[in-house]
Chain A
């Protein structure tokens, strides 16, 4: 473990560190949606601050990267939490164990921020849009998603495709059923990469249909989610959960927003 996280200086045991790590990582894994949809590059290290973002063109009929390379900065996102000295004392002197609720809350906020960057980023940079249509009538969702897929294919983006939508939209989709025909199954049949539910505000009232191949988009991670010790505040211990990352939407036409 890199000492720049100052973990070795923290006055807590290896067991407590292990419990914090397990709590943070398990919470983050449960919440993250963006990383389930797009590919990850890295972790390349905290010290790496930029990533190349290539754009593509054609030269004499051959696909080729544009002559100038843009570099995007990895952003650092962080949440902090504290462990009271009393909590640690309770965990040592009673059978109740260490309550890591504060770490879980920080990890939850961090995961939501990461998804904000990915899903919000995809929605705001998308270059394709379509009508959401009627999601309360059988056939409505399938028509909207099929139109988006057709648009993507027509502009050079082949599948497999995926969709990101809110739990409320997913519930409306899943509730459409008549004469043995399930709307959800029909929509899934054209979204081979899956349907993902997210509570991110970017998909509160719209649906993203995308071709999430790594040549269209990926996520560069510098420092993957980790916990550093910041020091003590009186007797209490102060921690930071953080990561560095950047969404690279290489071909913004690969995302279609249904609104």
Chain B
């Protein structure tokens, strides 16, 4: 019985994942208008649903899935795309109704009913937004006639942005999975925060691609899906280090100073992630070796290994 509930919830997760990517693609392609912001807000609600579904699956002893149902990648005017989103919401509504009927588990039914309610609201919102987008698009088309359209990005720039989006999407999924399955609250929270930050990066890079007339490729690389804290943190540190090096090499290749500083900003965030994961890994190591972690603000009594060379510091120069 539990197995079949888990399977239905995994199916719901695949649908939420599909919706997130479809809505984000549509929002990125619309630029920074009001409609795009509202579509992104709906995508964020779908992320919350994904989180709830993953929590339920873990609670029932299952494994959350990071797979997704096929995403419609066809181009179209904003209003057309939003009507596709209306259709996708209807698919979700039908699916949740069927799952609520099929599942005899009070908590799962309660949460699915809550999600169903959101999807009904989303369907109405997308219908209204399609009308607004029609008007917004007409105004922009008129503006575009008056101003010469910018040339698309150079092939190397497009390749760098594409590489970045692929990395960011990969780590979003990887960190989310790790946060779903980790029983350690601190680790789960840190990974969830990192995933949110990577989603921001994915959005920034995708908007750049869309602004240049391109279409962000929403595919991801291999995922390290493990429940072992050490393995997940080591994998996450490795992937962050790799992308830090990639971005560092790619920044001088970009001609646009704005893009250079965007990539620098993202790279610096990745450095912070390495730091955060490194600290968590140290705590995991301490726990594995059976040592009590040092209380806050108190140094451990003795260093575990030879004291590393201490770099000189500037400190106060007064007096």
Contact = CB atoms under 8 A, between A and B. Distances in A.
A1 B316 contact: no
B310 to A, nearest CB: 8
B296 interface: no
Contact of A35 (B274, B278, B309, B314): B314
A3 B278 contact: yes
A203 to B, nearest CB: 18
A39 B316 contact: yes
Interface string B237-279: 0000100110011001000000000000001000110110010
B311 A21 contact: yes
**Interface magnitude class on chain B:** 20 to 34
B315 A40 contact: yes
Contacts of B289: none
A4 B272 CA distance: 7
Contacts of B275: 2-4, 46-47
A50 B80 CA distance: 46
Contact of A6 (B271, B310, B317): B271
A29 B249 CA distance: 31
Interface in B287-318: 308-318
Interface string A14-55: 100110011001001100100111111001001100000000
A112 B18 CA distance: 51
A35 B248 contact: no
A175 interface: no
Given A4-B278, A231-B248, A9 B313 contact: no
B271 A43 contact: no
A39 B244 CA distance: 36
Given A6-B274, A228-B271, A28 B245 contact: no
Given A4-B274, A6-B241, A6-B274, A40 B316 contact: yes
B275 to A, nearest CB: 3
A233 B315 contact: no
Contact of A231 (B244, B274, B310, B313): B244
Contacts of B317: 29, 32, 35-36
**Interface magnitude class on chain A:** 20 to 34
Given A4-B271, A231-B249, A233-B252, A224 B314 contact: yes
Nearest to B317: A35
Contact of B249 (A1, A37, A38, A233): A233
Contact of A18 (B248, B249, B252, B309): B309
A238 interface: yes
Contacts of B313: 25, 43, 224-226
A80 to B, nearest CB: 10
Contacts of B267: 230
Nearest to B268: A76
Nearest to B271: A4
A22 B248 contact: no
Contact of A232 (B249, B271, B312): B249
B316 A21 contact: no
A32 B314 contact: yes
Contacts of B312: 21-22, 25
A37 B314 contact: no
Given A3-B278, A225-B313, A228-B271, A35 B308 contact: no
A109 B249 CA distance: 23
B315 A224 contact: yes
Contacts of A227: 311
A228 to B, nearest CB: 7
Interface in A214-259: 224-228, 230-233, 238
B245 to A, nearest CB: 4
A14 B317 CA distance: 27
Contacts of B271: 4, 6, 228
Nearest to B267: A230
Contact of A238 (B248, B272, B308, B309): B248
Contacts of A230: 244, 248, 267
B34 to A, nearest CB: 29
Contacts of A47: 275
Contact of B245 (A1, A40, A226, A231): A231
Contacts of B241: 6, 9
Contacts of B272: 4
B311 A1 contact: yes
30 contacts: A1-B308, A1-B311, A2-B275, A4-B271, A4-B272, A4-B275, A4-B278, A6-B274, A14-B309, A21-B311, A21-B312, A25-B312, A25-B313, A28-B314, A32-B314, A32-B317, A35-B316, A35-B318, A40-B315, A40-B316, A47-B275, A226-B311, A226-B313, A228-B271, A230-B248, A230-B267, A231-B245, A231-B249, A232-B245, A233-B249
Interface of B: 241, 244-245, 248-249, 252, 267, 271-272, 274-275, 278, 308-318
Given A32-B317, A35-B317, A224-B315, 17 more contacts: A1-B310, A4-B275, A6-B271, A21-B312, A28-B314, A36-B318, A39-B316, A40-B316, A46-B275, A224-B313, A227-B311, A228-B271, A230-B248, A230-B267, A231-B244, A231-B249, A233-B249
Closest 9 A/B residue pairs (Cβ): A4-B275, A231-B248, A40-B316, A35-B317, A231-B245, A21-B311, A25-B312, A36-B317, A230-B248
